[in-house]
Structure 1
């Protein structure tokens, strides 16, 4: 990965306060362990596209049908992103304009549903996303969500329950996807259930889509009517969303994105998405994606040896969810102690648990070049931090990140 320079002299001269903020964030990212499952380090090329002149361009509409003039290069950038996305994922159509994963889900619902329709999705206590029916979110206010869960003993999706709920409630759509389920969904099983009740199948693949791109996870594209995803996380692109679908839904999806749910496209971000799709099509990215999974499995095993209860008994993805209760801690307390030692991660809901656990991922540290030996070392750092030895652990974290800097020396 290319070396990224410090904030430019121009920014330092014009706005030294913001230059300090950006320098501080660079220092934070480079001196602490980034284990938030939804984060990663983009390449220098992606960052260059984000900071390009396309940031200035207003481009409402789609290539060849814009509401503003001067879009010839914006059109080229978006066509390039669409062509690369469809080739990468084997989809008939891609919309690369959604500003986020939530925006992509909103557009998918707008394309297929009407307010008041019933939707079956993973319940929030089991790892469902806010857009899967939270009462604080548009999804829970506009649609009638029914939540499915996981088996209490194994932590795995209970497909019999999904089938029973589908037949009982006859949803207009079924959503498969989660923010903290560390196993691969059985897309074929969801497709069969959706067909049994005449429902659309929407795959929210925000987390696994990068693994799909690298051949390290099964693809939802052959099974789902619409696939929603983010372009960051394991995919290692800019923060944003996208939608993949068959040609029969293309026009409905495009209209749902613009003009129904969004205005002007963020053309600099779309250019950066195109760069990321190009990078994800390389053999090097496929190697990376498989290393992400190998690192996650090794880290999960090492954390279990240190006393954590690992949900589902392990992982097939970049995600690990764990309960620190055997160590006498709850998730928020553990997160705070780890943060004090320079280890950054999230909390998450625990299926059938009384509190919250921790959620972490291996995408960013794998981008830094860390391997399975470092995963065992990181588990040891967890142990030191949770023993209350924050100062020493933070020193050890800084030493590890100096050896594996995110953007070169």
Structure 2
């Protein structure tokens, strides 16, 4: 994709777009929620469908001129059903958070109760943080991971559910490196007569490829993002059984949003098609293998991994045991200067501010898309440690930057 037309009409924006492409080419994206979509997905997302206003659903639009929009959306739905084995799929949510909102609107009233994982323990804003719409509209109680093991404390979850009596329990997390036992949480939900929402925003691709257990057919609702490990058009998705289909569709439109972003839905359809290719399973398995290699090498350097390792696409590093005077923000900033982009993150038992926490979160989806294998990820772990160990040493940062340049030249991205 080039920016020749934009260059002619709006050179300032063209500069920004070209700089962003260079930034992505010349750095290693290790934010666990980021990935690199194919140029086919990008092309679909820039199509003429951006001009189409398709309020409603395929065959039931409020405007004329939607016959081709219907085709694209139905293909996205059909491919999603095949990927995840869902009875009903809505591909219109603009994001994973809005997918969660749709579920809440479908089955909850304002003031109803949500039980979810605490944000500092790996949960998500849309699961009920006070600053988010969910925390403002609903009564929220939270469970935690075991501070010693770093795993979800399922017994504590049972106790919280028994005493709080929630209307819905949320599973699925944004900074949790272990596999989620969806069946265990479903049993808890059934015990207290609550709905169960499994938010698989981070692991949509891993679930689709069968390298992480699936909540589809187990949880009442499954919501997620479509641009992280699944590498499709940016947005959200909701899956459920036929019993809740009408309630979910009404909650998405007109409940939570107006006309769908049809160009993004086209990108979702293309990405889902790519994920149906057998090569995608290889990619997903490699993503997990790469995360394990990354984590193991960081441990060899003496860094502390929350839960002691990973089962999925990310590692969560608690800096306090090895580098008590270094914050996650210190490391994030230094690594960005060195060409590695990841994020500072809270860790269980956080003693610092969420704006300057004690941990870092690193993911391997984008590295794997670039072609990195386990050995390449071990080399990246070595470079990360060099910066963690000397975040104020500009000579170290410059040396790592040079070596990152070599890696980005070796593992090319976009032309």
Using structure 1 for the length normalisation, give the TM-score.
0.97
Q: Who is 1:365 aligned against?
A: 367
1:205 aligns with 2:200: yes
Q: How much does 1:251 deviate? A: 0.3
Q: Is the 8 A contact 2:233 2:266 kept in 1?
A: no
Rounded to whole Å, the distance in 2 between the matches of 1:308 and 1:245 is 40
Rounded to whole Å, the distance in 1 between the matches of 2:110 and 2:275 is 37
Rounded to whole Å, the distance in 2 between the matches of 1:308 and 1:115 is 44
Q: Who is 2:307 aligned against?
A: 312
Q: How much does 1:10 deviate? A: 1.4
Q: Is the 8 A contact 1:291 1:371 kept in 2?
A: yes
Q: How much does 1:383 deviate? A: 2.5
Q: Is the 8 A contact 1:324 1:334 kept in 2?
A: no
Rounded to whole Å, the distance in 1 between the matches of 2:8 and 2:141 is 55
Greater CA drift, 49-58 or 350-359:
350-359
Q: Is the 8 A contact 1:307 1:324 kept in 2?
A: no
Within 5 Å, give how 1:48-63 maps onto structure 2.
48-63=43-58
Q: How much does 1:169 deviate? A: 1.1
Q: How much does 1:207 deviate? A: 0.6
Q: Is the 8 A contact 1:151 1:158 kept in 2?
A: yes
* Runs of 4 or more consecutive aligned structure 1 residues displaced over 4 Å after TM superposition: none
Greater CA drift, 335-344 or 90-99:
335-344
Q: How much does 1:158 deviate? A: 0.6
Task: For residue 242 of structure 1, give the secondary structure of its aligned residue in structure 2.
Answer: strand
Measured on the aligned residues, the alpha-carbon RMSD in Å equals 0.9
Q: Is the 8 A contact 2:114 2:141 kept in 1?
A: yes
Q: Who is 2:231 aligned against?
A: 236
Task: For residue 229 of structure 2, give the secondary structure of its aligned residue in structure 1.
Answer: helix
- Where does the alignment leave 5 or more consecutive residues of structure 2 unmatched? none
Q: How much does 1:212 deviate? A: 0.6
Rounded to whole Å, the distance in 2 between the matches of 1:304 and 1:238 is 35
Which of residues 186, 191, 209 in structure 1 aligns to 2:181?
186
Which of residues 100, 104, 120 in structure 1 aligns to 2:95?
100
Q: Is the 8 A contact 2:222 2:240 kept in 1?
A: yes
Deviations 1:229-254 (A, max 9, x none): 00011101121000010000000000
Q: How much does 1:125 deviate? A: 1.9
Rounded to whole Å, the distance in 2 between the matches of 1:189 and 1:406 is 40
Rounded to whole Å, the distance in 2 between the matches of 1:346 and 1:262 is 30
1:6 aligns with 2:2: yes
Rounded to whole Å, the distance in 2 between the matches of 1:384 and 1:86 is 45
Which of residues 401, 406, 410 in structure 2 aligns to 1:403?
410
1:350 aligns with 2:347: yes
Q: Count matched residues.
A: 403
Which of residues 271, 293, 296 in structure 1 aligns to 2:266?
271
Q: Who is 2:326 aligned against?
A: 329
1:282 aligns with 2:277: yes
- Where does the alignment leave 5 or more consecutive residues of structure 1 unmatched? none
Rounded to whole Å, the distance in 2 between the matches of 1:21 and 1:6 is 13
Within 5 Å, give how 1:65-104 maps onto structure 2.
65-104=60-99
Task: For residue 289 of structure 1, give the secondary structure of its aligned residue in structure 2.
Answer: helix
1:127 aligns with 2:134: no
Greater CA drift, 385-394 or 331-340:
385-394
Rounded to whole Å, the distance in 2 between the matches of 1:6 and 1:405 is 17
